[in-house]
């Protein structure tokens, strides 16, 4: 079985490389953005013709949420045109596409009381409030319109020992400052990139890969917290003393709006692929040990 991974130089791409050795039945082809520019359809065709993958995991994306507000064309080119290009070549080569999307496709204006809900389901209506979320939603729609053999995995708050992310930023800031303020009114779930990588590969190797199961799935770790709670747990686990202050989003304005609530309900992926999902605090412990 050949699995081609785009965006191998990114956080998820590096996480996939870190676990690849645990899947001896898979012949991985890892392509960074220079080896496979997903916005270049002809290059996609050449790479697919060379490797003829059974599966393609698209870990390439424009993920600079705030920068996307001033670079909408670039975000669209990667997140929409790139996704569509991969769907087109996957169709040509009968390749099953696994595409990673985001909780930012939702506005976060959740009407149900937070303590009463498991979060957004795959059938809830998206309503992105920024360029990043909009382009990721349009990428999903381009795939759905192009090639039926796809799995779209929406995830949230991705971090790991690889790349740039919230966990590593908090550790860096704690080494530079005595006090730190973090927003406490945005609620979601951290996702360890290695857990996401293993879940994607569980889908690839599952007997459940069949027509009836194609579509959208949610995946994050279990539990929910604010960014303040996330930061606090990082410092507790690393035994770092710092004056951490909770602040409302209004005191930390950013170019892009963030969902106030973006917890994802994982019932569908658990039932379909029998995925065992760890609590976010347990996975954070693993990531901090590996950093």
Strands, sheet with 215-218, edge to edge from the N-terminal-most edge strand: 27-30, 2-6, 55-58, 96-102, 150-155, 215-218
Give catalytic status of residue 132 as yes or no. yes
Q: How many CA atoms lie within 13 A of 14 on its CB side?
A: 11
Any idea what the Cα angle at residue 34 is, between residues 30 and 37, rounded to 5°?
A: 85
Calpha distance 135→77 (Å, rounded): 9
The DSSP line for 186-254 is -EE--EEHHHHHHHHHHHHT-TT-SGGG-EEEE---BS-EEHHHHHHHHHHHTT---EEEEE-GGGS--
Catalytic residue among 23, 62, 120, 132: 132
Calpha distance 48→54 (Å, rounded): 10
Torsion of CA 160, 163, 169, 174, to 10 degrees: 80
């892009």: which residue's tokens? 256
Calpha distance 101→134 (Å, rounded): 11
Rg of the chain (C-alpha set): 19
Active site residues: 132
């Amino acid at each position: 079985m050949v699995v081609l991974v785009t965006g191998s130089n990114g956080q998820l791409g590096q996480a996939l490389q870190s676990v690849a050795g645990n899947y001896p039945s898979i012949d991985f082809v890892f392509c960074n953005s220079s080896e496979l520019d997903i916005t270049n359809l002809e290059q996609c065709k050449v790479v697919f013709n060379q490797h003829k993958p059974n599966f393609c995991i698209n870990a390439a994306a424009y993920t600079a949420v705030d920068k996307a507000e001033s670079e909408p064309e670039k975000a669209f080119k990667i997140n929409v045109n790139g996704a569509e290009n991969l769907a087109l070549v996957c169709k040509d080569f009968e390749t099953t596409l696994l595409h990673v999307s985001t909780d930012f496709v939702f506005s976060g204006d959740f009407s149900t009381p937070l303590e009463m809900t498991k979060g957004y389901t795959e059938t809830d209506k998206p309503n992105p409030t920024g360029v990043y979320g909009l382009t990721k939603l349009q990428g999903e729609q381009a795939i759905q319109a192009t090639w039926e053999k796809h799995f779209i995995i929406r995830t949230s708050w991705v971090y790991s020992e690889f790349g740039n992310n919230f966990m590593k930023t908090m550790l860096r800031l704690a080494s530079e400052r005595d006090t730190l303020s973090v927003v406490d009114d945005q609620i979601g779930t951290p996702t360890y990139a290695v857990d996401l990588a293993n879940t994607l590969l569980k889908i690839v190797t599952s007997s459940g890969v069949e027509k009836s199961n194609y579509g959208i799935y949610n995946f994050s770790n279990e539990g929910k917290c604010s960014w303040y709670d996330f930061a606090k747990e990082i410092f507790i686990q690393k035994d770092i003393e710092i004056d951490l202050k909770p602040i409302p989003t209004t005191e930390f304005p950013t170019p892009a709006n963030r969902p106030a609530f973006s917890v994802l309900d994982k019932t569908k992926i658990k039932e379909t692929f029998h995925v065992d999902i760890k609590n976010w605090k347990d996975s954070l412990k693993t990531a901090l040990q590996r950093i």
